[in-house]
Amino acid sequence: VHKLLTGRLDRFPTIRQEGGISGFLSRDESEHDQFGAGHASTSISAALGMAVAQKYKPKNQRGRAVAIIGDGALTGGMAFEGLNNAGHLNLPFTVVLNDNEMSISPNVGALSKYLDKVRTDRTYNKAKDELAAMTARLPQGELLVELGKRMKDSLKEFVYHAMIWEELGFTYIGPIDGHDIRDMVDAFKQASQVEGPVFVHVITQKGKGY
């Protein structure tokens, strides 16, 4: 998509062919390719470098660097290097995890297992709908008791999901339905207000919108 939006539509059929455009970012190919890459695991480190560069601009000209990375690429060692450095530097910076369970080969390792647990956590993903339905049908006294229990359960679930990223120095937002535009806009507005690094966990299903 990046190549299509940066003036390479007419050459797109030549991608990965001899004399054609690269399958990855290439600084020799376009001024819009700000760094060279061979794998998406590089996105966090590259965006962090851009976040560092923002410090040298006048305050009214500073932007916020955003790295987008898939759940497969997140298991790469370079991604963890970037996360570690971002938490240490504590700069305004956002990492968006596009968690769609898609990669060239099956994901393995502890992080992959952790993400599986988050995706399938029915307590967290159904909490908002259940709370709305409960509010509509319970008497006021019972509602307060039930709300207290739900809030306790929701807090436990939030801590469970956020712990690994918070320990790395990030403010965690998610998991979010990546096909709910309103929730996405709210999440990114929230992220933009945080002075330090933010990790936005977005769950998507491959193929929607195409």
Q: What is the number of alpha carbons within 13 Å of residue 196 lying toward its C-beta?
A: 14
Dihedral sign of CA atoms 4, 7, 10, 15 in order: negative
Across the range 187-198, mean pLDDT stands at: 92
For residue range 44-93, list pLDDT tens digits in order: 999 999 999 998 988 888 889 999 998 888 888 888 889 889 888 989 99
Cα distances (angstroms) measured from residue 209 to each of 67, 96, 188, 205: 22, 19, 20, 10
Across the range 6-18, mean pLDDT stands at: 92
Q: How confident is the model at residue 154 (pLDDT cuts 50, 70, 90)?
A: very low
Give the CATH H-level superfamily of domain 41-203: Thiamin diphosphate (ThDP)-binding fold, Pyr/PP domains (3.40.50.970)
Which of 95-109, 142-156, 191-205 tops mean pLDDT?
191-205
For residue range 99-151, list pLDDT tens digits in order: 886 554 444 445 555 555 555 555 545 555 555 555 555 555 555 555 555 55
Burial category of 141 from C-beta neighbours within 10 Å (exposed 0-12, middle 13-18, buried 19 and up)? exposed
Q: How far apart are CA 20 and CA 3, in angstroms?
A: 12
Q: Are 65 and 99 in contact (CB under 8 A)?
A: no
Q: How far apart are CA 64 and CA 150, in angstroms?
A: 35
Q: Are 72 and 104 in contact (CB under 8 A)?
A: yes
Q: How far apart are CA 67 and CA 85, in angstroms?
A: 14
CATH 3.40.50.970 in the chain is located at 41-203
Give the model's pLDDT for residue 100: 81
Residue with tokens 């898939």: 70
Q: Which long-range contacts (CB under 8 A, 24 or more apart) does 146-155 make?
A: 153/123, 153/127, 154/124, 154/127
- For 108, residues 6+ apart whose C-beta sits below 8 A from its C-beta are 75
Across the range 146-165, mean pLDDT stands at: 54
Range in 23-27, 59-63, 143-147, 193-197 with the lowest mean pLDDT: 143-147
Q: Name the average pLDDT for the chain.
A: 77
